[in-house]
Structure 1
Amino acid sequence: MRPGLLLATVGILVQVPVRAVNESPGKKIFDVIYPRKRHVLHKRDVKEDQGIKKQEKYEDQVQYEIDLKGKTVVLHLEKNKDLLSPDYVEVQYLSTGESVTSSPQIMENCYYQGHILNEEMSTASISTCRGLKGFFEHKEQRYVIEPLGLAKDEEQEHALYIYESQEQHLPETSCGVDMIEEGETLLEKTLRSGNNAVKQEDVNQKKYIEYYLVLDNEVFQKYNQNPEQIRQRVFDMVNFINMLYKKLNIQVALVGVEIWTNGNKIKVSPNANVTLENFSNWRGGILPKMKRHDVAQLITGIDLTGHTVGLAFMSTMCSPYHSVGIVQDHSYELLRVAGTMAHEMGHNFGMYHDTYVCKCPSSICVMDWALSFYIPKDFSSCSRSSLEKFLRIASPSCLKNVPLPSDIISTPICGNLLVESGEECDCGSPEECSNVCCDATICKIKPNFKCAFGECCENCQIKKAGTLCRPTKDDCDLPEMCDGKSGSCPEDRFRVNGFPCQNGQGYCLMGKCPTLQDQCVSLWGKGAQVAEKSCFDINTAGSIYGYCRKVEDTYISCKAGSSTCGKLYCYGGSDVLPWKGKIMSFLNCKTFSSEHNNQEVSMVANGTKCGNTSVCINGDCIDVENAYKTSNCSSKCKGHAVCDHELQCQCEEGWLPPDCDNSTLVFHFSIVMGMLVALSIIVIIAVIIIRHQSTAKRKKNMSQSCPTSGSKPRQWKPMKRQQEVQSTHSHEMGPMSPPVSTYPMESNKPPLCSGIHPQA
């Protein structure tokens, strides 16, 4: 604190509420403080040439001293390098309605996450762009810090807000998603039925979310038509969301921000269900063509009906249409809105509202059923369990896109467990590194090694090209093989959209094979079956019992030939569903009508087969080629190459990239033949050696029975004659030959030994 200044509780910062009922009565200025920046010196900084190293405006790690209740605490912050994706874009609109897309290559990264020093359980989400602004926790108490007045320096005066536990003062704000919390959920039933092929290691792997935000015209007007002010607010909110989801090993990266500066592109209604449906249709039809992303949210300045401040579809992460949510910008306090954004994203991940049985590490968790003014800092035990079940069942592939080292926008730091530009590996500090292939002191692969991690890395060496590193899971999956150049397995690829699957029962769409039968089982459980065609004919009526599309409160009937693309009709199975609504059953026809926004669970999914060469798209049964436009791709993939879901050519299993001309079978056969030839040569050599050794041994034994040089000659004597040799008359024989004795003859010479010449 500066001398001469009285530390007191003052009411300097006054905010104009959006809705008086939504502003926090528990928030007040606790103190006027003057943060003091500390110099943080790292061991590795000493090794660098400070004259060559570029001085950055915002350091990778910073510390600030803050006077808190008469005690000095140190706020330790580390730059959030994952805030923006490398291909981050911004979209705005001219007065003519023409969109303008910009891709800022260099943006100041002044967004940090961290904790109070020596309080590892504390959390902090702070920006230092113009003073210190954000949230931190100290000894179970939450604080918000903001610069006062025009202060732009972090050491100028700041206001410190404290959030007190006064739940009786909280207004009733809530999420619009209303679900059954008790009893066995659909996910649990599916798990129990054995439909959980996803491995535990896949569930535990780090996930990546490409996050797209849209802000409507009401938000644009609310913040004085100032895109820069809106941008800073959005970055602060996403920084907080990123901090929350890191606790689940999920990285949230902002890939784009779109501001509807020239009017809304959809009808934004106070009815949250209508707005969500409209935004879902707009996002599914237009946004993917503009920007690749995994989930999108609309931030609206419209006051939603009732106490609802957010709404999202359940368990739809990575869905082409329904991986969306809407959030009301219900407070000037950005962290409160960020908490709602994280909450609605949680629903996309299959998370239910917390109940009394859930264990929350803090006083309030992200999925609390009522969105109060208290800033959430963690996920409950129930949320973590729901997320794991969703990942096991849905196996959303979009979360596996790992950013390349060049994708991370920041100065690399060796030892932060992130492989960044200029690094070959990063296994943490030398003390914590357990990777034998990586030199933790310089983040380089050790000499004579080729790789340090990945499915294509074995014993620090890269596996041969064509080695299978990710086998196919089902009909709609493609195998991935090592390229012989990298230790990492290539990105997961799928069959081209429209490829026949499940013995012709369906067509692939983004790695899945949607069929009516599977959807009936998913909704109603084991034993459910698809209803007769006559049940689906009800969809031509255009009523709550049967329709293909819903626009606001109007039910649009199915066109001729598209009746199986509307309401899903089944029979059998269970009648216990995890949503509130009505089950309508007659004869052998059964369907479900949700009371809220879970319309998609009772509608036939996009991509479902509805004819011999047709699929359902937005309630219409259309030709597969018209739906996916894949013929050009299929024609350019020659030989043993096939088209994937992104219209790129991929090698079939058993064929080597990049040209798919060489078979891995031939490759492996040649290796086997080479090994057999080598083995045969080794055997022949071994036989020769053994024979040579055996012969030498025989000779040695024989030499031991022969006299040595200088020894006395052995006397050989004839044996006693036992039988007389009878004479043979000459007339009985041919020419006379000298008789050969059968007795050894006496000799003064020894017998000759093989290989040994007698001495003269």
Structure 2
Amino acid sequence: MSVAASASRSASTLCSPQIQQGALKEAKVPPHIWAARHWNLGLRLVPGHASVRAGILVLLIFLPSTLCDLGSVYDSSYETVIPERLPGQGSDDPGGKVSYVLLMQGQKQLLHLEVKGHYSERNFPVYSYHHGILGQEVPLLSQACHYEGHIEGVPGSFVSVSICSGLRGVLIKEETAYGIEPLLFSTDFEHILYTMAHQPVVLCNVTPTDSLGDSSQRQGSSKTDELLALSDLWSHAKYVEMFVVVNHQRFQMWGSDVNTTVQAVVDIIALANSFTRGINTEVVLVGLEIWTEGDPIEVPVDLQATLRNFNLWRQEKLMGRVRHDVAHLIVGHRPGANEGQAFLDGACSGGFAAAVEAFHHEDVLLFAALMAHELGHNLGIRHDRPGCTCGPKHLCLMHETISKTSGFSNCSSDHFLRFLHDHRGACLLDRPWHQSHKRRDAHCGNGVVEESEECDCGNACDSHPCCEPTCTLKVGAQCSEGLCCYKCTFKKKGTLCRPAEDVCDLPEYCNGITGECPANSYMQDGTQCDRIYYCSGGLCKNPDKQCARIYGYPARSAPEECYISVNTKANRFGNCGHPTSANLKYEACSNEDIFCGKLVCTDVRYLPQVKPLHSLLQIPYGDDWCWSMDAYNVTDIPDYGDVQGGTYCAPKKVCMESICTGHATLQYDCHPQEMCHGNGVCNNFKHCHCDAGFSPPDCSSGGNGGSVDSGPVGKPADRNLSLFGVGESPDSRMEDEEINLKVVVLVVPIFLIVLLCCLMLIAYLWSEVQEAVSPGSSSTTSSSESESD
């Protein structure tokens, strides 16, 4: 699908929650709208309007300085090319040089490239979360991927590409910028080469704000004794040590894969350097954190609020962990009116060294330009005014309309020089750690288990049962955290630590030598489930199940007539795409895509709790009703009421971005009959997960099942016992047995005492009965004797 098509189907903020009542005018009964009565009315800054209450005027001083909006997307001309690498050169060459021959517009061009591998600190830390615990990853990064150079015989040409897994980047030739990227699924090393003249741009409105930090918060005085003379500042190399955070949604857009995410961020930093070289500044990645399990802060559509939340998190959680000059958050959702936010003059500031950018598309170069633009604001660079120039270009990088084919202007240089001269950029004069090839030492006490540490109890070491304040395990302890750690001891090998949560999910087991549960595994996307549906992301994408998750049993997906009635109306309750700007409308679903818009359900017996800004639409259908939901707000992205990606829509077809397309888009390439000998399924790591009775890796021999990724599966008896509790170990069962023994020891004596008392009471009552009976018998005997006389 084209970039334009993709963007047109992205979500955006709606300014009004009102529904057009005429949208379903053919319905016999007017549609009923169920909406929350309490609206969250927050402060919003609208470009061009400055009316605010005096009571919040002080707060506005600390609001971020830029408001950016992604413009329209247009198609660009492109051609298919096959880059030919000249033999005898490559990354193994001592000089790190390589050359390619490329056919551009019918002419052969020779690209001379040289490796540029110093845009990240050596062994920079990568943090992620596992069951809520922050830890460090060891990503498998391709080495020496990024190259820069020129086109032979073309003065002023510039090339910046990543050559790992094909060529991906930008070429500038005779004032024309070209993008190049590998063609998916090509077996002939084919690439797409396209002009960028009509690619999307970013629009920015700046709020005039002075520096947000006072001199007491600046870090410059501690980093260098004095600044160089003004005449030397410009020629002196400057370095921005940037820490990057990737939010959960953007992580999912990169396939929920840590290695892919890290490589993508490294490539973005390299492309951003192609812009910042214009101000003699190098951006160096000093650390990365990936929110793998969810966002620890609220990430609303309003990026201004997101920046405030992120900056507070940065001050509380990041500043004491990794030294940085700026920290940028990459979010994956389409924001309302703002594509990026940054604190003006925030770099080198302890309080405001932050920015946030939205990366909801896949145009890497455009996003790199956006990141460089927002970084420019951190470095004190305002928007360009009339008269600012950057060579023959009409629009420069810091113009309100951001172009990815331009650079910083002469005005930007003046702003940056003033920022340095005012003693606000002293931190930029420090040479980063990677230049001396030193590694940062692990910081004990920050709550993160780093290299050379056995554990890290943070601020809770006094009461931690397993970890010493020196970040070593206590005597006798094997572990301190994790689903496979119980009372400082590894759980038994084969103990279930993460059960399957769906028919498309797969269980994981402890290996007996670590406290961590293996990474989550599930059936490969595209595996068939529930007869006609397909697995995607560990879930069987059955629309009936989606309805049941929202409305409860027995709700199910509505008949086709309901979908046609709802999804052809092009309103917020039925559509196949949100508007990309205020001037555009919702997209109605075509007949082929009718099941890929809003989810429509019937047999609804229970209504979910309607959150603020959420609404339900009820329309008649025979003796029943059909229900649709508009659940798009600042915390629900994508819309919870949309049909999920990967959901069945027609035989051998699934929904993807509101389009019913062939199930081949799930990229299922497993052949379980061959790979797994018919005794298992393929998981998301493309390994066999064997049925019970067979063993990995190929399920050809006997065993307990599982895969090389799931951890060793225990014996059936062990597995059954472990199912009494999620991840319950034999140790926990021993604890239960100890408790039961204590109960027996206490209860049995009490029972015996009570029983003895009961027996004594019975004996006493029996004796009383005997005494009562004996006199009566004597009287009877005497009476009889008297009568006989």
Normalised by the shorter chain, which TM-score bucket? Answer: 0.3 to 0.5
Higher relative contact order (CA 8 A, sep 6+): 2
TM-score by length of 2: 0.43
TM-score by length of 1: 0.45
